[in-house]
Structure 1
């Protein structure tokens, strides 16, 4: 990692040097472009001044040419006039001489001015050339500085390359050393692994011997437990058969006494229930048919005395399913008996199913007492007392018309956990 970091640092320094040299080159190029633009501006100004001076010189030449033409015209006029006015020649000659002198003076002045302008032009041209030479010298100096900077950067790059080469050689030597150390360490690890394998093999043999001894002990214990479980299961079956026989005897005696009373109560309850559900008045035939069908079902339920018929009656007692028990229309004693029998059966089923979550709760429908005498509930408080007496965990639902009993709190045959 350190070598890699050193390489990265060197590369970063090289890139920074390249960036700095490129920036310096850009700065020098910008300076050179500025100087070049300044020189072009000076050249343009000088060219404008030269053009103006040339125009003024041309104007002066034109004026001189015009004056010469005038002088020639005046000479011709004087020649013509001299023929006619010889007398006045002397006077006019003096005037002409004076005019000539004045004109010559003017011409001299104009020539001097033209010479001065030419000298100024020459001076300006010399200054312009000096400026150009100075700019050229500056440009050459900047180029020399750039060359020096480039040479310096090249020398630094060479130094960096030499450093990189040294580092690479060092890295190669270190790699060789590391490879040698790795090979030695691998040989040591191989020897240690072989020794460790031998130790593991001896330990595995010892563990296998111990496991065989433990398995033999466990087999003996399992055989003893199976024999005990068989004896317990046979005893439980006998106890179960005795209890079922006792329950069947008691149930048949109670059902024979209360069959008529129950039929009447069920008839009254079914008629009221069907009348409440039917909205129209022309459904009396349907009501009577449903009542007769329900009475036939009640007769068939009460007439069965076999264990198979009792199971069918328990499942057909409510339209909700085998997990529900409906106690509507029963007397208090019969309701308590049916509740006890139903809970006993559900506890046995729950334990036989290895405590499935689906069979944990049993639901008993007691009603809220709306159809009892004076609307006073009788079955609900008696069922609640029974559950509290036998230490059941329960919860009321459906506005107090149904109780949900937790079967996990009871063992087989009603013994508490």
Structure 2
């Protein structure tokens, strides 16, 4: 929990989105932009947004030259791969799978995984990503699972831990999934960490395994996040799930670029959503951009970095990738507001967390990011604040980051975690794994 009272005062520009459209993605995102307001936080929760709020005993953060946004929500990232940054920037999906999943992934010890995931979480916080879905498909042993969860706990980030097994491995320790659920996530008590199951799924594993994984998820009341594409195992993975009675609301389908429209319609009718990684999908050749097709199908979507082996790990780069590639895909062109919503409230909806985070409404947990409005690359801001943030902002503009009411970055420097020690551990792991 954060400090008891915190007042973000005299905000130069507050950008937010309306929660009224939570039943589905809006035809076009309409942001709320205000200036001169304050935001009061008590015990980690936003209690009021308005002008002239009394500070009382609250710590005051002067935001008179700051842009205030909801914290960014990354709906799909493999944090354990932080140690392999930029290793596959010139590689397609096949090359990535061969080098990272096949050759280097098995070299990660639990200590390597913890160092990599922990540093990756700090990278998120430093760039204003306050929530991440950690698709941890590297659980080779119970020790690896413990290391992954402990990295998230130590970082102070809000996260959905997606328990998954390595690519190219047929071993699936379902007993350990139960152990992790019971030990670390016995109940959804509103803590920073929640759990999901991230199986290989029908696109990449036999139907017998799919049935077993989905049955376990239902038994443990875990949401599912799963990569999907047309093959190599099931050419129509969503129809396969429907046929098996496994198509359930709340499932997050990742990528989906190669799926035909009828598969997207099944996702929409089932209450599923899609996490897209536009930078990686373009770089690795997953298929055509998805935003226009998802909006046409009425599917909620969020943005994900995916892997920093191939692209930058910040939401600003990702929003620009979504905007530019979205111009080239089928369907209507996304606006800057559309992609900013996907990076905040839309991402929270995808992860089932919109009741807690994603917007700056009273009653929600206080996850927010403050950008320097007086930075040279953001001036003048007043013409189009949303367009300016999406087209021009970068991680260097992130001045302050708050998670659950606790300041984790202040005056441009991380105060969460131990960055020097984390840097040393990451470099040691990187050299050991890949030289």
If the TM-score is normalised by the length of the shorter chain, which range does it land in? under 0.3
User: If each structure's strand is expressed as a fraction of its own residues, which one has the higher value?
Assistant: 2
User: If each structure's helix is expressed as a fraction of its own residues, which one has the higher value?
Assistant: 1
- Of the two structures, which has the highest relative contact order with CA contacts closer than 8 Å and spacing of 6 or more? 2
TM-score normalised by structure 2 residue count: 0.20
TM-score normalised by structure 1 residue count: 0.20
Larger radius of gyration: 1
